[in-house]
Amino acid sequence: MDEKTLIAKRVALELKDGDLCNLGIGLPTLVARYVPAGRNVFFQSENGIVGMSGPVAGADNHDLTDAGGSPISALPGAASFDSALSFGLIRGGHLDVTVLGGLQVDEEGHLANWMVPGKMVPGMGGAMDLVTGARRVIVAMQHSAKGESKIVKHCTLPLTSVRRVDLIVTDLAVIEPTDAGLVLKETAPGVTVEQVLANTGCELILSPDLRPMPLEG
């Protein structure tokens, strides 16, 4: 199993029956494939639909896409609406969970994921609203990039929000930001605690319930 699949499978276990969930572009979109059987999860696309599903071959509709402009389909029971209502759902506490990619997360659980000054300035899109407003924020990302840990003492990149994220799922570990700091809760298959610590740019508190990462619900 590649690293992205592993991260997506672990994140999917966090989704509960009846949840409304918004997945960021990139790695987070994989999460929809691994929702455990029997859990009915509604997915929102912030361009204006609740109840989206993957594309159906031969049924492309130029009026129905995800936030990246790729074709999707609408499940029975789906609802579409304008951007103000869509972000009202996000900001107003109606969105149960969002899964977003990350460039950095720090000891305080602050996420940076929208720009690298001077290099990459895509804009924040809906990310700032999602991190500020979703009831639960899960960051799904590789633990390191170009040999450097993405989990750091203080974010050096511009923050997406000062709201503390709720969970970080990487190819090495599951980490929960708390008042006391970052708590290491799970290690990925074949990964030791020492490996996680060596690849993390700040201190981690070992959870008394530290366990191997489950991948099936």
Partner 1 sequence: MSKLISLEDAVARIPNGASLLIGGFMAVGGPNRLVDELIRQRKSDLTIIANDTARPAMGLGKLVVERLVAKVITSHIGLNPETQKQMIAGDIQVELVPQGTLAERIRSGGVGLGGVLTPTGVGTTVEEGKRTVEIDGKTYLLELPIKADFALIAAKQADLYGNLTYALTARNFNPIMAMAATTVIAEAEDIVPVGCIPPDAVMTPSILVDHLISNSNR
Which positions ≥6 away from 81 have C-beta within 8 Å?
48, 49, 50
Q: Which of 165, 146, 148, 168 is nearest to 156 (CA)?
A: 148
Q: 36 to 55, contacts with partner 1 by CB under 8 A?
A: 45-49
Q: Is 19 in the site for partner 1 (CB under 8 A)?
A: no
Residues touching partner 1: how many (CB under 8 A)?
40
SS3 85: helix
What character string, x for contact with partner 1 (CB under 8 A) and - otherwise, covers 138-167? Answer: --------------------xxxxx-----
The number of CA neighbours under 13 Å toward the Cβ of 168 is 34
Is there a catalytic annotation at residue 14? Answer: no
Q: Which of 75, 90, 78 is nearest to 21 (CA)?
A: 90
Q: Which of 37, 70, 39, 41 is nearest to 56 (CA)?
A: 70
Question: Which of residues 122 and 214 has its CB atom nearest to partner 1 in the complex?
Answer: 122
Catalytic residue among 3, 46, 107, 176: 46
Per-residue buried b or exposed e for 77-102, using 16+ beta carbons within 10 Å of the residue's own CB:
ebebeeeeebbebbeeeebbbbbbbb
Q: 86 to 145, contacts with partner 1 by CB under 8 A?
A: 86-88, 90-91, 121-129, 132-133
CB of 160 to partner 1, least distance (A): 7
Q: Where are the beta strands (DSSP E) in 31-130?
A: 42-45, 49-53, 73-80, 97-100, 104-106, 111-112
CB of 42 to partner 1, least distance (A): 15
Q: Is 76 in the site for partner 1 (CB under 8 A)?
A: no
CB of 45 to partner 1, least distance (A): 7
From candidates 84, 179, 208, 216, binder to partner 1 by CB under 8 A: 84
Question: Which of residues 127 and 165 has its CB atom nearest to partner 1 in the complex?
Answer: 127
Q: Is 83 in the site for partner 1 (CB under 8 A)?
A: yes
Dihedral angle over CA of 96, 132, 119, 182, nearest 10: -80
From candidates 40, 61, 156, 192, binder to partner 1 by CB under 8 A: 61
User: Which residue ranges make up the site for partner 1 (CB under 8 A)?
Assistant: 45-49, 61-65, 67-69, 74, 80-84, 86-88, 90-91, 121-129, 132-133, 158-162
Active site residues: 46
